[in-house]
Structure 1
Amino acid sequence: MKAIVYEHFQAELDRAKIAIAEQDFETAWIALQRAHILGQQDAIAHTIAHWNMLKLAWRQRDSQEIIGQLISTVSAFPLTLLYGKNRYLRGGKANVKDSEKMSVPPDIQQLLNQ
């Protein structure tokens, strides 16, 4: 992962932690989805993003999201190693089908293109 992408990945995780502490879960999910997009092509970062989504789903007691994030957390590392560069980027929430392509925010796409 490029250093600039990693910095932004960490910043999004930090933004999510602050939002969770303030119980602003909508902002936390947005930050975690942005972190997921930034880290999706790196096996460790991808797994970390899903782990944080799992923790937030658990905190919210969202059973559908817990199950989806549990599966995603366990499979993120091996699947990223196998397909990381060949998959389209997505936000990472469990309620979005894997077949649904999501738009990447322009600022993130610009970072990834560097």
Structure 2
Amino acid sequence: MNFTQAIRYAVLRELVMARRARLSTQRTQEFKHLENAHVLGQESTYWHTYTHWLMLVWGWKNKAYSEVVGQILRIVGAISKTAIGLLPTGNTGGANVSPFKPMSLSSECAQAIAQAKSRCAKG
């Protein structure tokens, strides 16, 4: 099992919560769940790129055009840099933070990532 598969359910849980927030017009909460999904999936090129895409869509729908521009740049970085490990741990992925800034992990995210990596090690 690879990391993309191992972290899948944790990322999807956050994406479901983001969707629920969107449906109840809680835009800030929706973006917070997208950030959590980003942190969880950051070591997977697939999840890393996908969460940046969802952040771009969020920016477009909410007319947050600085977010749209920031996410275009981050998508390019996610596609080209994730596989070689050039990413700052814990970075929430929004355009409001430097794409190079490491950030502390919440205990929930740290635990989910550790569990996923443990599953990868077991095969």
Offset of 1:4 from its aligned partner?
5.0
Please state whether the residue corresponding to 2:97 is helix, strand or coil: coil
Which residue is 1:38 aligned to?
40
Matched ranges for 1:1-114 at <5 A: 1=3, 3=5, 5-83=7-85, 87-114=88-115
Q: How many residues align?
A: 113
Residues 97 and 87 from structure 1, CA distance in 2 versus in 1: closer, same or farther, beyond 3 angstroms?
closer
Segments of 5+ residues of structure 1 without an aligned counterpart are none
Identity %: 27
CA–CA distance in structure 2, aligned partners of residues 2 and 56 of structure 1: 23
Please state whether the residue corresponding to 2:25 is helix, strand or coil: coil
Runs of 4+ residues over 3 Å off in structure 1 = none
The one-letter code of the counterpart of 2:107 is: P
Residues 73 and 99 from structure 1, CA distance in 2 versus in 1: closer, same or farther, beyond 3 angstroms?
closer
Offset of 1:8 from its aligned partner?
1.0
Q: Deviations over 1:66-112 (max 9, x none)?
A: 1001111233122111225x642210001101343322111110111
| Residues 37, 89 of structure 1: 8 Å contact kept | yes
The one-letter code of the counterpart of 2:14 is: E
Please state whether the residue corresponding to 1:50 is helix, strand or coil: helix
CA–CA distance in structure 1, aligned partners of residues 77 and 102 of structure 2: 19
Please state whether the residue corresponding to 1:97 is helix, strand or coil: coil
Give the structure with higher Rg (CA). 2
| Residues 47, 77 of structure 1: 8 Å contact kept | yes
TM-score (norm 1): 0.89
The root-mean-square deviation of aligned C-alpha atoms, in Å, is 1.7
Which residue is 2:120 aligned to?
none
